[in-house]
A and B are shown apart, each in its own frame.
Chain A
């Protein structure tokens, strides 16, 4: 007597489980049912770290938001400034139940944004044809930057590559040819030694280490030596593998030779802008600051990231992607419309010419309607554009301890390069520690 209701329950349970499974399987299909357009007034929040600044980034962002709202009268965009250093406002707002709709996410935070802040894959939201239509004309390498586990969670927004800025006047004073900037790390060392020998300036500085450096540039250096800091399946750290250790040892060699300045990012930037450093490897985004310092003082030039001998250079990106977090279909559509506007030909014309980041749409570079004229007047951007063809993603570390993993790795790099510690042992010890922070 008692078994029958139990069997019924089991059946009901099975039926419900199957229904849930079916619903789960069809979720992407359901999610694609966002409205085709925004036909009623809607307000979305856009968490943007450029808005927390008073510089060109903030001005250009406000300009783009204003233009978008003028073209889309039904959509109101509420720009929310936040600090990209800790994203505590996003965390606090999510905890407070406030709407977090669209976010400018630093690439290293992408995994955390997906697993903890509910960032959603564009493939699950936007109809496939519409997505493909918008992606057309975008750099395939640029599109890969926001892909995680096979889906596009982030669409590259303000991003750039490592550029070797150099002081052509110091090159001439050191007897070097400024038209032949160093293309390999070996050549860079020789040039730096010449600059230090024949001028009062320092040879070389880079934004690889330091408290605010993150790990993007280090990842590019390791990749260029054929290594990687994390396995492709994102389960195993690999920054103590021979290729990575070799890259660290190369940097150590520069430091031991006395040509690699151990200056923090701001110090190195100021030294370079002031004309006191021969070469500086850093994101192209700081170009504006360097130009301001160089104007009337010395000739600033730029080149691509150096290679390890004949190995191909594999630069990666710094910067941010756009991620959609809202689950409301109407807001998703509004956020997607804003995302499309910001990553359009017009959007990237503003982003590149006014802030200094790479255009995700390479064709606009030669188009006089967009960046054509501007590029002619700003040749410094060329190495950055050249590297778009070989650009690789900045791998975000997984799990809730992702920042601890990065810090452990980068502290070890700094100790091995400037602290006199043995590169192999230091990187191995750090990797063992950091592996325990992995999810």
Chain B
């Protein structure tokens, strides 16, 4: 067999191979997309069911049809009348925003200290901060409650914010980012006469924007979802948060699914809005926190 004879079929096979590879790649892509579509339906279905259930009248609340046989806004009217939803949403928004700003501020200061300065027992203190992350809030809930009671702050928004002034997660995440920040840039700033305060706010912070944005979203969402502390502390719906408001529809006499779903739908809207605006940052924040 000559070389041409051998090579001919090979040459002819190349485009076929390419075509096969391309077809397989397309197929893989299609399968991947199909899996993602199915998973998305699984994820979105509870949200869809929540909205649909909120629109069902009381005697059709347990219907299993995908679309309600009759639509009613009674659940929304009842929920808005039964608890001050707008007020509670406002409280939740305020608390989440304030806690986010405060935790970022204290986190930046502490992280800078850990990342930039060497001091006695610095590793030990850093480890202790890391360890506090492992302590569940339920453990310190009662001591915190006693302190807040002694300060006369029971049933107040201030008390809902107070125990959340510092976050181990924020400190650790920011310290890690600051440690990987180029030392040359900091040295250059120092040679230009900048001191720590200026280096932190004018040199480091603008470059850590991505991490800070991710962290802000994480803090905001976890504060938004906070339940146990408000449950213990709040005594009136006016000074409470939306998570408690939603739970109020679950009673010893049965759960009021219609109003509960209506309240949940209304409570989801602000966080959904934030998600739509900051989609990319939210995904990045979860990826980063997952990796680290």
**Does the CB pair B59–A289 fall under 8 Å?**
no
CB pair B249 A355 closer than 8 Å: no
Bound-state Cα–Cα, A81 to B251, Å: 12
**Complex Cα–Cα for A53 and B252 (A):** 9
Q: Is the CB of A96 within 8 A of B253?
A: no
B contact residues around A58 at 8 Å (CB): 248, 251
Interface: B186 (CB within 8 A): no
Residues from chain A with Cβ under 8 Å of B59 in the complex: 292-297
Q: Mark B253-284, 1 if CB is under 8 A from A, else 0.
A: 11111010000000000000000000000000
Point out the residue from A81, A288, A293 that lies within 8 Å of B253, measured CB to CB: A288
Does residue B35 face the partner (Cβ distance < 8 Å to A)? Answer: no
Inter-chain contacts of A270 with B (CB < 8 A): 62, 257
Residue numbers in A under 8 Å from B232 (CB-CB)? 88-89, 92
Instruction: Flag whether B235 is at the interface (Cβ < 8 A).
Output: yes
The answer to whether A49 and B254 have CB atoms under 8 Å apart is no
Would A54 and B83 be within 8 Å (CB), given that A273-B62, A294-B59, A295-B59 are in contact?
yes
**Contact between B253 and A55 (Cβ–Cβ < 8 Å)?**
yes
Q: Is A274 an interface residue (CB 8 A)?
A: yes
Q: Is the CB of B146 within 8 A of A53?
A: no
- Among A274-329, those with CB < 8 Å from B are 274-276, 285-286, 288-290, 292-297
Which B residue sits closest to A294, measured CB to CB?
B59
Q: Is A269 an interface residue (CB 8 A)?
A: yes
Which residue of B has the minimal Cβ distance to A79? Answer: B235
B250: min CB distance to chain A, Å: 7
CA distance A93 to B145 in the complex (A): 9
Q: Establish whether residues B253 and A355, one from each chain, have CB atoms under 8 Å apart when the complex forms.
A: yes
| Contacting pair A288 B145 (CB below 8 A) | no
Is B213 in contact with chain A by the CB < 8 A criterion? no
Interface residues of A in 176-206 (CB under 8 A from B): none
User: What B residues does A93 contact at CB under 8 A?
Assistant: 149
CA–CA, A270 to B79, complex, Å? 20
A50 touches B252 (CB 8 A): yes
Kindly report which residue of chain A lies nearest to residue B257, judged by CB atoms.
A270
**CB contact under 8 A between A53 and B149, given known A81-B235, A292-B61:** no
Secondary structure dominating the interface of A: helix
Q: A83 and B231: CB pair below 8 A?
A: yes
Residues of B close to A293: CB separation below 8 A: 58-59, 61-62
The interface residues of chain A lying within 8 Å CB-to-CB of B259 are 54
With CB as the reference atom, state the residue of chain A lying closest to B144: A92
The answer, yes or no, to whether A115 is at the interface (CB within 8 Å) is no
Bound CA–CA A289/B251 (angstroms): 10
For chain B, give the interface size range. 20 to 34
Nearest CB of B to A357, in Å:
9
Query: Measured between C-beta atoms, what is the minimum distance from A202 to chain B in Å?
Result: 14
Q: B254–A269 contact, CB under 8 A?
A: yes
CB of B253 within 8 A of CB of A52, answer: no
For A54, A58, A81, the residue with the greatest tally of chain B CB atoms inside 10 Å of its CB is: A54
- Interchain nearest-CB distance for B65 vs A (Å): 12
Judged by a CB distance under 8 angstroms, whether A1 is at the interface is no
Inter-chain contact A289/B235, CB cutoff 8 Å? no
Judge whether B145 and A57 touch: CB under 8 Å.
no
B125 at the interface (CB under 8 A from A): no
Neighbouring A residues of B254 by C-beta, 8 Å:
269, 285-286, 288-290
Please indicate which of the listed interface residues A53, A274, A275 has the most CB atoms of chain B within 10 Å of its own CB.
A53
Q: Is the CB of B146 within 8 A of A95?
A: yes
Q: Look across to chain A and name the residue whose beta carbon is closest to the beta carbon of B64.
A: A274
Docked pose: A248 CA to B64 CA in angstroms:
34
B142 at interface by CB-CB < 8 Å: yes
Asked if residues B58 and A295 are in contact (CB atoms below 8 Å), the reply is yes
A294 to B60, CA, bound (A): 9
Q: Given the complex of chains A and B, what is the CA–CA distance between A81 and B232 in angstroms?
A: 10
Instruction: Output the least CB separation between B84 and chain A (Å).
Output: 10
**How far is B258's CA from A289's CA once the two chains are assembled, in angstroms?**
11
**Nearest residue in B to A355 (C-beta to C-beta)?**
B253
Taking the closest CB of chain B, its distance from the CB of A189, in whole angstroms, is 26
Q: Does A266 contact B (CB under 8 A)?
A: yes
Is B150 in contact with chain A by the CB < 8 A criterion?
yes
Name which of B63, B154, B249, B256 has the most chain A CB atoms within 10 A of its CB. Answer: B256
Quick check: A266 and B255 within 8 Å, CB to CB?
yes
Decide: B62 and A49 in contact? CB cutoff 8 A. no
Q: Does A80 have its Cβ within 8 Å of any Cβ on chain B?
A: yes
Please list the 3 inter-chain residue pairs (A to B) with the smallest Cβ-Cβ separation, ordered nearest first.
A289-B254, A274-B62, A96-B149
Please name 26 pairs of A and B residues whose Cβ atoms are closer than 8 Å in the assembled complex, sorted by A: A53-B250, A53-B251, A54-B245, A54-B256, A54-B259, A57-B253, A58-B248, A58-B251, A81-B235, A88-B142, A92-B232, A93-B149, A96-B150, A98-B154, A269-B254, A273-B61, A275-B62, A276-B62, A285-B252, A289-B255, A292-B58, A293-B58, A293-B59, A295-B59, A355-B253, A356-B253
Residues of A within 8 A of B (CB): 49-50, 52-58, 80-81, 83-84, 88-89, 91-93, 95-98, 266, 269-271, 273-276, 285-286, 288-290, 292-297, 355-356
* Additional A-B contacts beyond A285-B254, A355-B253 (16; CB < 8 A): A50-B252, A54-B82, A54-B248, A55-B82, A55-B248, A55-B251, A56-B253, A83-B231, A92-B145, A92-B146, A269-B254, A273-B62, A286-B253, A289-B253, A293-B61, A296-B59
